[in-house]
Amino acid sequence: MPEHLPPPGGSLTDFLTRYDHMAIRSAHEVIACYSTSFSLATRLLGKQVRADIRNLYAMVRIADEIVDGTAAAAGMNPTEITDTLDRYEQAVLASVDTRFHVDPVLHAYALSARRCDFNPDQVRAFFASMRRDLHQSTHDAHSFEDYVYGSAEVIGLLCLSAFLVDHPATPTERNRMEAGARSLGAAFQKINFLRDLAEDSQTLGRAYFPGLETRELSDEHKKELIRDIRQDLSDAHTAIPLLPLSARAGVLAATELFTELTNRLDVLPAAELARRRVSVPRRTKAAILARALTAAPRAHRRKEK
């Protein structure tokens, strides 16, 4: 039988289903390669939610790679990199209207974008922050706030859209969960800025935190940043009990993993952060995931009238 024909008793739909599965597995490989902590946390999500979050992350990761040195390492000049990012944004925004994509990551993202009704304005805000990385290497307080919103807070909001499919919430609950999603996204981004301080400054020539373009990170400045991160994590934590159980354990695990990372950053001198990237040992990660899995069912808050 020719290979292009469906199997006996099958249909062309079987080909598309198989391709969908391949694309989703491809997205999983992207997250597994680039973020072990986040990948581990997604294991605690419900099956469909897990696929949607991984599909979203894979698209975001590709955009990150365009602006974070990979395209430049491949020999692209600044104009080519900008054009590539623009084309990718257009492809991502248009992907929901097409059922088949030759790019598996884009195909997987489109599956979830349709199912979760991702807000295109939030996607545009994300790409706007990515575009900043191509022409802006330092930030003041205002541009930093804008950057974090687009690069991280909207990702939290897009994740929330995936969490709440088939889970209606009251306007009050939705507002509280959106605030928590934004706070958690901001916390994750700021933590990554601290742990990637050496790479950002020495390799990419960027100083995200306001004031760092003129001086090195001091211990006092680091403590101030840690306090801000802890406040974001605390604000995010209060919204976790409102999440559906299919999302609650994974979000709780991610929050606790990044809290542990914050604790490790907190005890190190600022000068040490400029020399190495801090991580959480695998055994500690496993213990955090186990605790989250146990705690999540108990962390339920009764819906408000």
Q: What is the pLDDT of residue 1?
A: 39
Band (pLDDT 50/70/90 cuts) for residue 4 is very low
Average pLDDT over the chain reads: 90
Band (pLDDT 50/70/90 cuts) for residue 173 is very high
Phi-psi map region of 118: left, alpha, beta (phi>0 left; psi -120 to 50 alpha): beta
- Residue 212 confidence (pLDDT) above 90: no
**Model confidence pLDDT, tens digit, residues 51-72:** 999 999 999 999 999 999 899 9
**Model confidence pLDDT, tens digit, residues 127-147:** 999 999 999 988 999 999 999
Q: What is the pLDDT of residue 224?
A: 94
Q: What is the pLDDT of residue 215?
A: 65
Tokens encoding 210: 């306001």
Band (pLDDT 50/70/90 cuts) for residue 108 is very high
The domains found in the chain, sorted by start residue, are: 16-298 (1.10.600.10)
Q: What is the pLDDT of residue 25?
A: 95
Tokens encoding 248: 């609650």
